[in-house]
Amino acid sequence: MHVTMVKKRLKNGQPCDKCAQAEDLLKRRGLWERIDEVVWADENDDSSPGMRLAREKSVSLAPFFVVKDGEAEQVYTSALAFIKERLGGDAKPLAAPEPASVESLALELSGKSPAEVMARVLQQYGPPAASSCSGAEDLMLIDLAAKSGHPFSVSSLDTGRLHAETYRFIERVRKHYGIEISVTAPDTVAVEDLVRKKGLFSFYEDGHSECCGIRKVGPLRRVLTRYAAWITGQRRDQSPTRADVPLVQLDTNQGSDGRILKVNPLAEQSLADVWRYLRDEQVPYNPLHDQGFISIGCEPCTRPPRPGEHERAGRWWWEDSTKRECGLHLPK
């Protein structure tokens, strides 16, 4: 059997979300090796191999799979159907919580401590992802998860633009807790296209959303298709954009079927609470904090806040304060 997967590259140079999700699904199920060939259908190039194949097979959707078995050939436009029928894999999507169960969980967890929230969520949803391990809040979450006694996962986004200190710190955390940390890279083609067309610092000229979209939002979306719940370090007093963060919510912008339980155990904590915890529990922290950084992101887009400034004022400091989110936490 020979399998060709056709992925679509959009006019803006990025791969289509569905193609990225299908690839991730195959990888998570250990089936990626069964794809013999990947070709691109480039919206800017009618003669690209994938566009030609789409015309030949009369297919208008991407991704699609062309399976040749001897003389027989079949085209699949559904990754799930392809997996189920040809690879014998478990094509059942991961279960996402129902809205009613999120509401009742929110009621149950109201007034509970971060440790209690963490333990309860890990107990019910297995190992959800704590999405990063760079800043103080992330480390409090990892420490709480480790002390809960339940299995958990840690996933970090490697944008390619992090501080050297952060890369070294990720390694230190891995060894300190004896845990695996998934480090997810952005789509290479999309990054290369952006840099070729706009250079390495386009965010200073036309805003951070395009670069963050490629280096953060897309990769996180792929990561979160593996989980039923996502644990974040958001706090209400971090910035005006986070003033209403609840303890738990249904995020309809992520997850394998368009929704995921999003848990914010630190929503009601202050920055001082977080640091008290780190000190009391002797939790390792990113050495950039000792240089005055409070919120830590990519190197070109983060600076320590100035005296009197808000703690996230050093993130994308050249932009309006109401736009200083990278897109990971924006509603759909």
Contacting ligand SF4 (CB under 6 A), which of 9, 120, 208, 259? 208
Using rule CB under 6 A, residue 259 touches ligand SF4:
no
Residues facing residue 263 across a β-bridge: 231, 248
How many residues in the shown chain lie near ligand SF4 by CB under 6 A? 13
How far apart are the C-alpha atoms of 36 and 32, rounded to whole Å?
9
Residues 159-198 that bind ligand SF4 (CB under 6 A): 159, 161
How far apart are the C-alpha atoms of 113 and 265, rounded to whole Å?
8
Which among 131-139, 263-271, 280-288, 295-303 is the span making contact with ligand SF4, rule CB under 6 A? 295-303
* Residue among 42 and 138 whose Cβ is closer to ligand SF4: 138
Mark whether 326 is an active-site residue. Answer: yes
Using rule CB under 6 A, residue 212 touches ligand SF4:
yes
Taking the complex as a whole, the smallest distance from the CB of residue 210 to ligand SF4 amounts, in Å, to: 8
Q: Is the peptide bond before 114 cis (omega within 30 degrees of 0)?
A: no
Query: In the chain, which ranges are E strands?
Result: 2-9, 37-42, 64-69, 72-76, 129-130, 153-157, 181-184, 229-231, 248-251, 260-263
Which among 55-63, 112-120, 176-184, 209-217 is the span making contact with ligand SF4, rule CB under 6 A? 209-217
DSSP per-residue codes, 302-328: B-PPPTTS-TTTTBSTTS-GGG---SS
Contacting ligand SF4 (CB under 6 A), which of 170, 274, 301, 313? 301
**What's the gap between Cα 34 and its chain centre?**
25
Using rule CB under 6 A, residue 312 touches ligand SF4:
no
Which among 164-172, 231-239, 278-286, 294-302 is the span making contact with ligand SF4, rule CB under 6 A? 294-302
Half-sphere exposure (Cβ direction) of 143: Cα atoms closer than 13 Å: 19
Using rule CB under 6 A, residue 216 touches ligand SF4:
yes
**Residues annotated catalytic, as ranges:** 326
